[in-house]
């Protein structure tokens, strides 16, 4: 079996899997539907696969030359996509796990925290309560909000995160949004969340992964847009 035949077989398998996944009719273009669900680089790659499929099918006619030969790269990508549908990536699979996250509490000294953020190129730090649940997030936005509201605010060695407690809760972040999702949330839904523009103009900066996606639960991990930009994750 040559690559063109293999490609056609795999493409048909992908279509069948996606029709089942999305409960589509037999005549629906399942790859096109999936393409519009995932967006980004994955959507571009799927669009190329759809176009390639048309060339492969028409190339089987006896009255035209075979002008298109499928590459091994296209075959591997199609196999990878099919495998991801059969074994979907979930939030817990792609998040930064709890033990690798930089956390702080209200009693944490502010200057060392900011120094660590600069050294590790971290822009947002979850602030936890004593029970391990999220109190809020410390970021550049909270720093600016506090400094703007209190022009006499000074940061010295005794300053703790507590000094910005009014600006840390998620609901108080200007221009920033944070959500909680369950550990089993599919990667397609995560990509869609980061790609959705809210009416209030706030940008989704971080997703907190918990057991059931509830704020009162302990954090298992977190996801930022950078975590899903990796082609190995998006392509899956």
Cβ atoms of 15 and 82 closer than 8 Å: no
Q: Are residues 178 and 64 in the same domain?
A: no
Task: Please state whether beta strands 203-210 and 221-223 pair in parallel, antiparallel, or not at all (unpaired).
Answer: antiparallel
Question: Of 67, 87, 107, which residue is a domain's last?
Answer: 87
Average pLDDT over residues 43-56: 92
Q: What CA–CA distances, in Å, run from 56 to 4, 30, 49, 78, 170?
A: 6, 18, 10, 14, 51
Residue 206, domain extent: 93-234
Question: Of 32, 67, 87, which residue is a domain's last?
Answer: 87
Overall number of domains in the chain: 2
d(Cα 228, Cα 190) in Å, to the nearest integer? 8
List, for residues 78-119, the tens digit of each pLDDT value.
999 999 899 988 999 999 999 999 999 999 999 999 999 999
Cβ atoms of 194 and 159 closer than 8 Å: no
Average pLDDT over the chain, rounded to an integer: 89
> Residue 231 has what pLDDT?
43
> Residue 65 has what pLDDT?
64
Task: Return the residue matching tokens 């005549």.
Answer: 27
Q: Are residues 227 and 203 in the same domain?
A: yes
d(Cα 79, Cα 129) in Å, to the nearest integer? 44
> Residue 230 has what pLDDT?
55
């Amino acid at each position: 079996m040559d690559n063109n035949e293999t490609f056609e077989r795999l493409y048909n398998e992908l279509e069948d899997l996606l029709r089942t996944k999305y409960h589509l009719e037999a005549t629906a273009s399942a790859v096109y539907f999936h393409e519009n669900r995932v967006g980004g680089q994955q959507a571009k790659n799927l669009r190329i696969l759809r176009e390639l499929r048309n060339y492969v099918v028409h190339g089987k006619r006896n009255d035209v030359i075979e002008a298109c030969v499928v590459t091994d790269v296209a075959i591997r990508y199609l196999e990878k996509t099919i495998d991801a549908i059969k074994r979907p990536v979930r939030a817990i699979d792609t998040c930064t796990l709890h033990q690798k996250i930089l956390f702080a509490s209200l009693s944490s000294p502010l200057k060392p925290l900011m120094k660590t953020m600069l050294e590790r190129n971290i822009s947002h730090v979850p602030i936890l309560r004593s029970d391990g649940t999220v109190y809020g997030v410390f970021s550049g936005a909270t720093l600016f909000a506090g400094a703007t509201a209190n022009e006499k605010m000074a940061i010295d060695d005794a300053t703790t995160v507590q000094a910005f407690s009014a600006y840390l809760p998620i609901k108080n972040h200007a221009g920033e949004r944070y959500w909680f999702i369950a550990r089993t949330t599919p990667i397609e839904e995560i990509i869609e969340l980061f790609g959705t523009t809210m009416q209030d103009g706030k940008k989704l900066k971080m997703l907190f992964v918990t057991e059931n996606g509830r704020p009162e639960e302990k954090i298992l991990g977190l996801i930022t847009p950078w975590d899903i930009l990796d082609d190995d994750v998006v392509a899956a």
